Amino acid sequence: MIINLFSSFDPSTFIYSFNWFRSILIFFFLFYFYWLIPSRFNFIRLILTKIIHSEFFILIKNPANIGITLIFISIIFFVIINNFFGLFPYIFTSTSHLILTLSLSLPLWLSFIIYGWLFKTNHMFSHLVPLGTPFPLIPFIVCIETIRNVIRPGTLAVRLSANIIAGHLILTLLGNTGSSFSLYLIPILVIIQIALLTLETAVAFIQSYVISILLTLYSSEVN
């Protein structure tokens, strides 16, 4: 049972058994559509993949790294599916936990940083000191840019999980207070819940797009 407001985000809650497995369970069913040729699902997926690829490729600006967009396309689909299915009742929202969001952002950020400093050292140094920086301010600018680069995976993880948690908490609060409302206020509560659920659906798609775009921008700085 749900003990408090934050119990819905607790993986150990009894009603949310096999929570982390549910995050990847949907992908086992998605492969079924690949056997149907031609498939409407494949047609829609290819259209979306082409649109996202063209947008990500503009940000990368390097024809030699055209295949790297597949990484970000996979991330955006993974986050969209987990965010969207987390809106259904009694389905655990794995993207509301930092352990998952950090697992997405930290390895990619580390790979970009390690690759940049090993193979493009001069290019990485140029990012620490922007062009035209006064000489007395160079030490401070280097410190600021270093801190900004170090906190990037943390800000990505917190941005995604915080936005998902905030909307779910509001929906939970309104749902728990519905029993204390009079019959005249119930229709208003239902309308507010539907509006918030629509907003959360938009947030689920927008946040997946944002985290993929930011990861693409971080990779473009290395190239």
Q: pLDDT digit string (tens) for 7-63?
A: 555 555 544 445 666 666 666 666 555 566 666 777 777 888 888 888 888 888 776
Q: What's the rounded Cα separation, in Å, for the pair 219 and 59? A: 9
| Euclidean distance between CA atoms 90 and 76, whole angstroms | 23
* Burial grade of 223 (CB within 10 A; 0-12, 13-18, 19 or more): middle
The candidate with the shortest Cα–Cα distance to 205, out of 164, 162, 170, is 164
| Range(s) of the domain holding residue 206 | 5-222
pLDDT in tens, 157-212: 888 888 888 887 887 777 777 677 777 777 888 888 888 888 888 988 898 888 98
Taking the C-alpha atoms of residue 61 and residue 221, their distance in angstroms, rounded to an integer, is 10
pLDDT at 24: 67
Q: How many domains does the chain have?
A: 1
Cβ contact 66:57 at 8 Å: yes
* Torsion angle of the four alpha carbons 37, 69, 156, 219, in this order, in degrees rounded to the nearest 10: 170
Higher-confidence residue: 176 or 214? 214
In single-letter form, the type of residue at position 3 comes to I
- Report in angstroms the alpha-carbon separations of 88 from 82, 93, 119: 11, 9, 46
Looking at 61-133, list the stretches that DSSP marks H as alpha helix, in order from N- to C-terminal side.
69-85, 98-119, 121-128
Confidence class for position 219, pLDDT limits 50, 70, 90:
confident
Instruction: Say which residues have a Cβ less than 8 Å from residue 126's Cβ, sequence separation at least 6.
Output: none
Report pLDDT for 43. 78
pLDDT score, position 16: 47
- Look at residue 1 in the predicted model and tell me its pLDDT: 43
Which one-letter amino acid corresponds to residue 181? F
Give per-residue pLDDT as tens, 89-142. Answer: 777 778 888 888 888 889 988 988 888 888 888 878 877 887 777 878 888 888
